[in-house]
Structure 1
Amino acid sequence: MAVTDKARADEAREAVVEAALGRLGLDAKARLLAGQDMWTLPALPEIGLKSLVMSDGPIGVRGVRWTADDPSVALPSPTALAAAWDPELARRAGGLLAQEARRKGVHVLLAPTVNLHRSPLGGRHFEAYSEDPCLTGAIGAGYVIGVQSGGVGTTVKHFVANDAETDRFTVDNLVCERALRELYLAPFEAIVEKARPWGIMTAYNKVNGTTMTEHHHLVDEVLRGEWGFDGINVSDWMAARDTVGAIGGGLDVAMPGPRTVYGAALAQAVRDGEVAETAVDAAVRRVLRLAARVGILDGAEPVVAEPPAPVDGEALAREIARRSLVLVRNENAALPLKPNGTVALIGAAARDARVLGGGSATVFPARIVSPLDGLTAALPEGTLTYTVGADPATELAVAARGFALEAVCRDAEGTVIGTRSAPGGLIQWMGSDLPDGVTHDTLHTVELTGTFTPRESGPHTFGIKGMGAFTLTVDGTPYFDEAQRPGKEDPFEAFFGAPVPRAEVELTAGRPVDVSLTHVVQLPDDIPMKVIAFALAHSAPRRDPDELISEAVEAARNADTAVVVVATTDRVESEGFDRTDLRLPGRQDDLVRAVAAANPNTVVVVNSGSPVELPWRDQVAAVLLSWFPGQEGGAALADVLTGAHEPGGRLPTTWGSLADAPVSQVTPAEGELSYTEGVFIGYRAWDRAGRTPSYPFGHGLGYTDWTYESLQLDGTTARVRLRNTGERAGREVVQVYVAPAEPGTHRPARWLAGFAGAQAGPGESVEVTVELPRRTFEVWDETAKSWAFVKGSYEITAGRSIADRRLAVPINV
């Protein structure tokens, strides 16, 4: 669409918005700004407005139901997407998610997360892209463009400095203005400029004394004023705390409902003279603008009238996964695997794959391809063996494999009033999402009931996740019949808290037993949303760890190559809590050392969403980072291990030990968390501290070799020529860094200015260009409260990582 055509379309939508706004009374306007339930805003038929539906992302579209009955495509984690260093791939991912949203009747995706990896202990880092604002902004912009090109809105989150989970509802993050501007606000600013997002989500935390849902300076003056953002500002769920403070701080929508600080409370504040109705009008205008853009306001032409061509979700999930795999070590060309060689696959995560992170990013794919599945399909019959080796799970997990369950709802008299299938042991019913015929007024108990068929004989442990009164029965015997209390005062404890063991039962492999978990539903009247959330948890018999490792060692000794898959668990990486260390859980480090001692050709696949310590990394032949690889992760892993495709990823964040990490603090002191490191996080901080990480930012190997031939500057355009000097086609990520000649103590030694992908066949050369924007040479002047262009001498470098810089040229600006 030509610029003039787009401008006319925007003007036409604005005219419809203004006309609709003019027909609304105060009560209707205030009601529109408050969630009517967990995921939606109310319809206003009097102006032709349908209900606006929102849904969690960022790796899939869950819809309004949190259940495996409504499956979703599950893409790799955001850290994986960023590891591909390809904004165009991010755009394609967004396009697929728009397709999924349309299929599920969703108008707005609650994504992407563009907070930074300030500390490696951040429990939710798998849901964010990178430690670097330039890379984060580029990938986030691609994602937003992709989603919105499908006619679905985005809410870039969490604005701002929501970089850890500890005390996230109340923490006051103290961040100097320069660090805010140069680091934490920078990805949001870049996405607003490049992608024009239709929404943004404000965070739970405070920044410098003011809660983000009431932060007039950052929302109205910076986001809207300086940057020109014209979309909606929606609260994170349950983040809005004060009616007058929120509307004065630029918050448009308070979620979820029906109890919020808006609605009737906002209308009354206007009548009491505490809030100007013009402030309400401004918020309503932005909501109606969003409704017009997504096509749910009568008379307004949606931005995307015809959806783009359909996308093959499984194929794209597989492509993203293999392009995100980062090969950080490959001694003696251990990978790709030699044709027809024997492979010993080892690790619990190789069989029961962990493909996504815990928390609100969770979706339920229709299928999951594990590493065992992928390699079984890819390797010749008879060349692959499998052993467990070591189980990373040290706690119970939600009941899944072997369970056949349904949820039975009863009223206070015990009469069945509704049922719903339960593919797993998790119940999460929010708002009006209840089984047919069931209401909150009539519901008294929910029973998860069915059978469990164990695959191992021995003592099986059953437990409960959730709060309230429960009765647990296994094979006809009641084991628990009392109340379970929360471990901490957190409104999301039922979602993110640990399951509690309540029964140990001796079972026989292959013999089904009846299981039942009944929960008495008691929802206080004053809660902001009605949520029924609990789970039946289970763990199989725990075999002797030394025996399991011995079996793995024997299998490795008899194979040409040992492939060990190690992993974190959802009790290590999840929304709701931060990590306490960077170690792999269980005996996995011992497993790797033992296998490597038995077979020098050991390949380790690390299945984690963010950095873990690899104390054995120099003892193995190859290390491949798979992140949380999404539903097709096992197929993608087989593609890369066999050499059908090369690993395409580069590190979006530094990997190193916690002891060496320059920034690690995530726990507030007396409610405050001081970002005392200023602008020195990630590789900037490692450089400043003079420490060498395990693997540096930007690092990643492929299956071919590259020679960097020339770097030329044409003004502020860097032109890099490189040649594929290997024996197969490949893709290289050319990274351009800027280093001031005299950084002093207040500027990093160097920082990422831009990057570009290069593809070439054997012997071919290719040239890429990387623009160096003006901001590359600016710093935030806290005295003048503006950007200052820093003249002087700089070195522009091009290379493969922050530590592997191949070419350099000086520049004076």
Structure 2
Amino acid sequence: MKKTAKDFTLEEKAKLVVGKDCWRINDLNGKLKQTFMADGPCGLRKINDDETTVSATLMPSVSVVANSWSKELAYLDGETIASDCVENDVDVLLAPGVNIKRSPLCGRNFEYFSEDPFLAGELAKSYIEGVQSNGIGTSLKHYCCNNSDYDRLFQSSEVDERTMREIYLPAFEKAVEADPYTVMCAYNPVNGVQMCENKKLLTGVLKNEFGFNGAIVSDWGAVHGEFGAVSAPKAIKAGLDLIMPYEEKKITQILDAVKSGFLTEEELDKSVDNVLKLIERTKNANKKVSVPKSERHVNAKKIAAEGMVLLKNEGALPIKSGKVAVEGSCAKEPVTCGGGSAKAHTLYTQKSLANLLNDCGTKAEFTESCIYLSHDTHWGLSNLYKEAYASDAIILCVSGVIESEGRNRTSVKLSQNIEDTIIRTADFNKNVIVVLYGGSAIDMTAWIDKVNAVLYAGYAGEACNEAVAEILTGKVVPSGKLAETFPLCIEDTYVGTTHGNGFAERYTDGVFVGYRYYDTEKKNVLFPFGHGLSYAKFTYSDLTIEKKSETDYVVSYVIKNESDFDAKEISQVYVKDVFAAVSRPEKELKGFSKNLIKAHESKRVSVELNYRSFAYYSVPLEKWHVENGTFEILVGASSRDIKLVGKININLPEETQVTVV
């Protein structure tokens, strides 16, 4: 029989809303099913009772999945990780993260999808559906405004209501449609209130407005302190359901709060019932291994290949012949994931990149010594330069400082040694190809004009260099596009190198985040949002905009592949409010489509727009609002490469229009 809070004593209720240990929900000594949670999102990271970590498939980081712009691959990613979860008796995967990439310095950007809330929400929803199709629960995180890992437990994100609604909440709102088992509450305060005791955002917005009916779980250790900081009773009162991990004093705090009247038993019962629903849901889940072990690595490579972005190519790629040197430590030991709780422990050992390239069956000969490019001894670099001089081309595999949870980057540049080595190598060989490994934007201004090609591999998981080899040789045609802008330098970002004062960080950029800022301010960037090259050439034509209702439209256009390559193209649909009554970005992404188009063939692509595609959030009205007027529909290959432009006029009834905004 299904149990409710009424079936338990007060002491048992208090235990149910606090973890049993680091990873389990309290089963009350066997009265309830044991429920185990484990980290993601780049693969299963399960810690056993003896502190060992299980081996699992290390999938591409979420940022690489995002660069694929593929809902199908996001689903496949979740489905693959879930199969590892089923085999290791995990009930809930603590993923995905949908925090917005406000600054390229955030140490966890590799775990997040995008600077754009629409793209992040669409992909996160598919990822959740993929995981949960196997009967494994998810934990949508980190709710909300957790956009920096600097002093993340105490520094308040100060965000105005419209910015919150338009930038930092929509990805959560969209992902909740996939019915995740849990949502994870963030460490940080928002507008001075710790997230785990923020009743407005937990109960008012997430539960009541967005309709989330699962359990809200704290990030590990986010409920901390007894006075002034977050306390367990305050958190439960605000709508938090499960405090992780176990801490005896949290149970005592809850019991004392009920006895004193600060926390009512009815309030506690709401959280208990949500925890019981979570346990029941994991108990009744139809767990299945939909991806056999033999296919998981294959899936990791497929996603990696579609998520890598060809940033620059001046005829250097694909490589078909000649003698090619392969250098840099990442050619043998690529950086496959960032640090912290996201990294899975894989037993898979990759071949060196040179061997993988030779396996691709071209007429080229690939040789390697894999000298560390940060090596500053004469011996190491002199040998590298000799290799460069003697080769028809040279591939340099480089990475910046490994990005990680718990800290922000201090720079987006590569080390001075690596930059100098790239520049010097170009003096000895005019055909330099750079493969970049990283989790977010990298400043390339010192050397980008010296090289012929740049492939951004990201943190692409255990099959990373296999995917690199197939792209460099043309076995796979690159199709990834950037889900975040690469600025010229960190000083060109709105945030710059600032990260608050330890007490608060004011989001004075408002809704102008990422390309919304750069495009509105007409700032030059290194590579724009949505940018990515292909070996194919695509043309766009024949834009039509079909009106279904006053705020519902179908945008359709033809893409032609004018090359000899079968290839995928990611087309993007942006909306511009031409005469906005409020300050709005130059344009905003409202639709996208990724399509395989055969060589010399054409395909008509359709993207639907709806009310929210044209709306801004009106604070006085406390709702989304569309104003009458002219809107431009812009179809492009990136935010800066607009191919087609159309216009529509929206004329809603006069009573829907307001003069106060």
Q: For 1:338, which of 306, 311, 320 is the aligned residue?
A: 320
Q: Note the 1:14-413 alignment, pairs <5 A.
A: 16-17=1-2, 19-44=3-28, 47=31, 49-65=32-48, 70-193=54-177, 195-241=178-224, 242-259=231-248, 261=250, 263-295=251-283, 302-304=284-286, 306-308=288-290, 310=292, 312-331=295-314, 333-339=315-321, 341-369=322-350, 370-378=352-360, 383-392=365-374
2:364 & 2:534 partners in 1: Cα distance? 28
- Name the stretch that deviates more: 664-673 or 121-130: 664-673
Aligned to 1:628: 459
- Name the stretch that deviates more: 377-386 or 23-32: 377-386
1:379 & 1:345 partners in 2: Cα distance? 17
**Contact in 2 for aligned 1:317/1:631 (Cα 8 Å):** yes
Aligned to 1:655: 486
Q: Note the 1:551-562 alignment, pairs <5 A.
A: 551-562=383-394
Aligned partner letter, 1:220: T
Aligned to 2:413: 583
Question: Offset of 1:84 from its aligned partner?
Answer: 0.2
2:495 & 2:582 partners in 1: Cα distance? 17
Aligned to 1:668: 500
Question: Offset of 1:790 from its aligned partner?
Answer: 2.2
Question: Offset of 1:387 from its aligned partner?
Answer: 3.0
**Contact in 1 for aligned 2:60/2:336 (Cα 8 Å):** yes
Question: Offset of 1:50 from its aligned partner?
Answer: 1.5
Aligned partner letter, 2:460: P
Larger radius of gyration: 1
Number of residue-to-residue matches in the alignment: 634
1:714 & 1:69 partners in 2: Cα distance? 54
2:29 & 2:258 partners in 1: Cα distance? 24
Aligned to 1:492: none
Aligned to 2:531: 699
Aligned to 1:594: 424
- Name the stretch that deviates more: 156-165 or 279-288: 279-288
Aligned partner letter, 1:175: V
**Contact in 1 for aligned 2:25/2:35 (Cα 8 Å):** yes
Distance of aligned partners of 1:730 and 1:45 in 2 relative to their CA distance in 1, 3 Å threshold: same
2:592 & 2:329 partners in 1: Cα distance? 37
Aligned to 2:654: none
Distance of aligned partners of 1:602 and 1:743 in 2 relative to their CA distance in 1, 3 Å threshold: farther
Runs of at least 5 residues in structure 2 that lack an aligned partner in the other structure = 225-230, 548-552, 651-661
Question: Offset of 1:723 from its aligned partner?
Answer: 1.0
Question: Offset of 1:304 from its aligned partner?
Answer: 2.5
Aligned to 1:754: 591
2:158 & 2:453 partners in 1: Cα distance? 41
Distance of aligned partners of 1:161 and 1:624 in 2 relative to their CA distance in 1, 3 Å threshold: same
**Contact in 1 for aligned 2:20/2:26 (Cα 8 Å):** yes
**Contact in 1 for aligned 2:574/2:590 (Cα 8 Å):** yes
Pairwise CA RMSD of aligned residues? 1.8
**Contact in 2 for aligned 1:29/1:284 (Cα 8 Å):** yes
Question: Offset of 1:389 from its aligned partner?
Answer: 4.2
Distance of aligned partners of 1:768 and 1:22 in 2 relative to their CA distance in 1, 3 Å threshold: same
Aligned to 1:550: 382
Question: Offset of 1:64 from its aligned partner?
Answer: 2.3
Aligned partner letter, 1:646: V
2:52 & 2:387 partners in 1: Cα distance? 36
**Contact in 2 for aligned 1:162/1:168 (Cα 8 Å):** yes
**Contact in 1 for aligned 2:396/2:433 (Cα 8 Å):** yes
**Contact in 1 for aligned 2:320/2:362 (Cα 8 Å):** no
2:249 & 2:540 partners in 1: Cα distance? 58
Question: Offset of 1:349 from its aligned partner?
Answer: 1.6
1:785 & 1:544 partners in 2: Cα distance? 59
Aligned to 2:450: 619
Question: Offset of 1:668 from its aligned partner?
Answer: 1.6
- Name the stretch that deviates more: 180-189 or 239-248: 239-248
Distance of aligned partners of 1:314 and 1:789 in 2 relative to their CA distance in 1, 3 Å threshold: same
2:456 & 2:104 partners in 1: Cα distance? 16
Aligned to 2:471: 640
2:606 & 2:303 partners in 1: Cα distance? 24
Secondary structure in 2 matching 1:604: strand
- Name the stretch that deviates more: 313-322 or 656-665: 656-665
1:63 & 1:390 partners in 2: Cα distance? 33
Distance of aligned partners of 1:68 and 1:83 in 2 relative to their CA distance in 1, 3 Å threshold: farther
Aligned to 1:566: 398
Runs of at least 5 residues in structure 1 that lack an aligned partner in the other structure = 1-15, 296-301, 393-542
**Contact in 2 for aligned 1:375/1:634 (Cα 8 Å):** no
1:769 equivalenced with 2:600 (yes/no): no
Distance of aligned partners of 1:309 and 1:78 in 2 relative to their CA distance in 1, 3 Å threshold: closer
1:376 & 1:240 partners in 2: Cα distance? 53
Question: Offset of 1:257 from its aligned partner?
Answer: 1.1
1:307 & 1:264 partners in 2: Cα distance? 41
**Contact in 1 for aligned 2:20/2:27 (Cα 8 Å):** no
2:125 & 2:443 partners in 1: Cα distance? 31
Secondary structure in 1 matching 2:347: coil
**Contact in 2 for aligned 1:202/1:236 (Cα 8 Å):** yes
1:768 & 1:607 partners in 2: Cα distance? 33
Distance of aligned partners of 1:21 and 1:745 in 2 relative to their CA distance in 1, 3 Å threshold: closer
Distance of aligned partners of 1:69 and 1:254 in 2 relative to their CA distance in 1, 3 Å threshold: closer
2:378 & 2:306 partners in 1: Cα distance? 36
1:144 & 1:357 partners in 2: Cα distance? 21
**Contact in 1 for aligned 2:136/2:285 (Cα 8 Å):** no
Q: Deviations over 1:633-673 (max 9, x none)?
A: 01111111111111121000000211222333542225110
Aligned partner letter, 1:336: P
Length-normalised TM-score, structure 1: 0.76
1:575 & 1:673 partners in 2: Cα distance? 19
Question: Offset of 1:23 from its aligned partner?
Answer: 1.9
Question: Offset of 1:70 from its aligned partner?
Answer: 2.3
1:689 & 1:191 partners in 2: Cα distance? 30
1:721 equivalenced with 2:558 (yes/no): yes
Distance of aligned partners of 1:310 and 1:388 in 2 relative to their CA distance in 1, 3 Å threshold: closer
Aligned partner letter, 2:113: Y
Q: Deviations over 1:698-737 (max 9, x none)?
A: 0001111111122111121111211111111000001001
**Contact in 1 for aligned 2:436/2:456 (Cα 8 Å):** yes
Secondary structure in 2 matching 1:363: coil
Aligned to 2:518: 686
Q: Deviations over 1:202-234 (max 9, x none)?
A: 111110010000000001010000111001111
Q: Deviations over 1:386-420 (max 9, x none)?
A: 2344445xxxxxxxxxxxxxxxxxxxxxxxxxxxx
Secondary structure in 2 matching 1:314: helix
Secondary structure in 2 matching 1:587: helix
Q: Deviations over 1:102-159 (max 9, x none)?
A: 1111111111010011011111111111100011001111100111111111111100
Question: Offset of 1:51 from its aligned partner?
Answer: 1.6
